Amino acid sequence: MAGKRKKEKKKRGPVAKTFSIIGLVLAIIILLVFAYVAYVFLSFKRIDDNQALVAEQQAESETVQTGKELMVTSYNIGFGAYSDDYTFFMDGGKESWAFSKDAVYENIDGAMNVIAEYDPDIALFQEVDFDATRSYHVDQRVLVDEAMAELGEYSYTFAQNYDSPFLMYPITQPHGANKAGIMTFSKAQITSGLRRSLPIEEGFSKVIDLDRCYSKSRVTTDNGKELVIYNHHLSAYTANALTAEVQLSMLIKDMQEEYEQGNYCIAGGDFNRDLLGNSPEIFHTDVLDDNWAKPVNMSLFTDDITLVAPFDENDLAASCRNPDKPYEKGDFVVTVDGFIVSANVDVVYSNVIETDYKYSDHNPVMMKIKLKK
C-alpha cells in the first residue's frame, strides 16, 4: 500500500509478562495487608468499664475474721503454656501457642498443685484463658475452679481482660484470637465484684497488649467493715513506659478511697515492673539489653497504701523469667509479682514460691497477713 505502513502489534516478551505477574501479586498482597490492618483496628473494642462481676459458688464462711492470720497467694499461670522449656515470640522466643493441648492441662494441673500446698484463704490468678487459639480453646476457668474446689468451699469472681482480634503474626503460627481474664478466690463469701478498665495506649500496641483491668471483690469482715480484694495485671508491651505508672496510680487511688472509708484493702498480681528495683543485682544475673522490667515508681505509693515486694534474703527466689529461651539457672530473673496493702493490714511474711518455672514463666507469690482489729 502506497504511503502507508501496516502497524504491527508489538508482542510482549516473557520478561515483561513475568514483571506484570509479579506486580499483580504484590498489589494483591498489599491490598490484603491493608485489609487485615483495617480489620484489626475496626474490630478492636474495649471491654466495658464498671462491669459488675457475679460471685460464683458459696464460700465456707460469710465473713473474714480480723486478727486471724490469712494466707494470700497470687499466680500468673501464663495461659497454661509456659513450661520451663517454652519460649514466646513477643519476648524474643519462637512459640506463639502452647506446645500442645495436653501441655496446657499439664501446666495448669502443676500450677494448681503448687497453690494447693499453701491452702490459701485468698488466691489470685492472672492469664487464665477461656477461649483462645494460643491454648487450644481450653477453658482454664473450669480447671482452676475445679482445683480450688478440692481445697474447700470458695467464692470467686472472674474479670475478662483480653479479647483480641485474630492476630496473623507470626506467619508460621499465628497467635490467633484470644480471650483471657483474672480470677479471685476467697474462703469468705464475696458479696459483690466490679471490673475496672485501666488506661491503655492508643496506636498499634493496644492490639498486642491486653485490655488491661483490675477487679474488686468485696468480703464482709467480722467487725462490719469490708475487705476489698484487688486483682491486677498491668501493661507490659507498651511504647510509653509511663503507661503502667498511670495504671498503678489509678489502682492506688482507688485503694486509698476505700481505706479512708474504713475498709481493709489488699491487691495482688503482675505489675510488670521490677518491684525490688534492682533484681539483676540481687539475683546475680546479667541485665537484658532491652530490659522491659523497669523499676517500680515508689513515689506513687502513700503512707496508707504501701507495696509488699515478696522477698526473703535467706530464701532467694524471683517471680519471673524472660522467656526468650528455655530456662536455665543463672538466666535473667526479676520480681514483678507482689502485693499492695492498706495501713490497717499487718503483713506477717511475704516471699516468692520457687517452682523453677516448671509451669509458667512466673513463680507464684505468697503473703501472710492479719486484718487489724
Q: What is the pLDDT of residues 115-136, one digit of tens each?
A: 999 999 999 999 999 999 999 9
Give the tens place of pLDDT for each residue, 204-250: 565 566 689 999 999 999 999 999 999 999 998 776 778 889 999 99
pLDDT tens digit sequence for 36-88: 666 566 666 788 899 999 999 889 899 999 999 999 999 999 999 999 999 99
Angle, CA of 231, 356 and 297, to the nearest 5°: 45
Q: At 168, phi and psi to the nearest 5?
A: -80, 0
**2 part of a folded domain:** no
Q: Within this chain, do residues 297 and 152 fall inside the same structural domain, yes or no?
A: yes
pLDDT range class, residue 14, cuts 50, 70, 90: confident
Please indicate, yes or no, if residue 8 is contained in any of the structural domains. no
The answer on pLDDT for 2 being more than 60 is: no
Please report the pLDDT score of residue 107 as a whole number. 98
Per residue in 264-302, pLDDT (tens digit) is 999 999 999 999 999 999 999 988 877 788 999 999 999
Same domain, 40 and 131: no
Instruction: Average the pLDDT over each of 44-48, 76-80, 142-146, 153-157 and give the range with the smallest value.
Output: 44-48
Residue 76 lies in a domain: yes
Residues 316, 236: one domain?
yes
* Predicted confidence (pLDDT) at residue 315 exceeds the cutoff of 70: yes
pLDDT at 41: 61
Cα(264)–Cα(341) distance, rounded to whole angstroms? 8
Q: Is residue 143 part of a domain?
A: yes
Q: What average pLDDT does range 305-311 have in this prediction?
A: 98
CA 329 to chain centre: 24
User: Which pLDDT belongs to residue 336?
Assistant: 98
- Give residue 291's pLDDT: 77
Q: How far is CA 117 from CA 39, 109, 148, 231, in A?
A: 46, 13, 11, 21
Q: What is the CA radius of gyration of the chain?
A: 25
Give the separation between CA 212 and CA 75, rounded to whole angstroms. Answer: 17
Q: Do 350 and 366 contact (CB within 8 A), yes or no?
A: yes
Examine the domain organization and report whether 108 and 23 are in the same domain.
no
pLDDT of 142 reads 98
Lowest mean pLDDT among 85-94, 119-128, 140-149: 85-94
* Residue 361 C-alpha from the chain's centroid: 11
Query: What span, in angstroms and rounded, lies between the C-alpha atoms of 46 and 55?
Result: 23
For residue 4, being part of any structural domain is answered with: no
C-alpha cell at 230: 484487688
Least confident of 40-54, 89-103, 178-192, 312-326: 40-54
What is the total residue count of the chain? 373
What domain count does the chain have?
2
Domain coverage including residue 245: 47-371
- Domain assignment of residue 339, yes or no: yes
Q: How confident is the model at residue 316 (pLDDT cuts 50, 70, 90)?
A: very high
Does 31 lie in the same domain as 156?
no
pLDDT of residue 210: 65
Residue 103 DSSP class: H
In the predicted model, what is the mean pLDDT of residues 256-262? 98
pLDDT above 70 for 12: no
Same domain, 111 and 27: no
Q: Please tell me whether residues 160 and 205 are part of one structural domain.
A: yes
82 and 99 fall within a common domain: yes
- DSSP summary character for residue 74: E
Sign of CA dihedral 159, 300, 296, 343: negative
pLDDT at 9: 52
Query: Do 39 and 162 belong together in one domain?
Result: no
In a domain, 9, yes or no: no
- CATH number of the domain that residue 138 is part of: 3.60.10.10
In a shared domain, residues 21 and 161: no
pLDDT of residue 44: 65
How are beta strands 337-342 and 264-270 bridged, if at all? antiparallel
40 with 53, same domain: the answer is no
pTM: 0.90
pLDDT at 7 over 60: no
Same domain, 307 and 323: yes
Coil, strand or helix at 41: helix
Examine residue 183 and state whether it is found in any structural domain, yes or no: yes
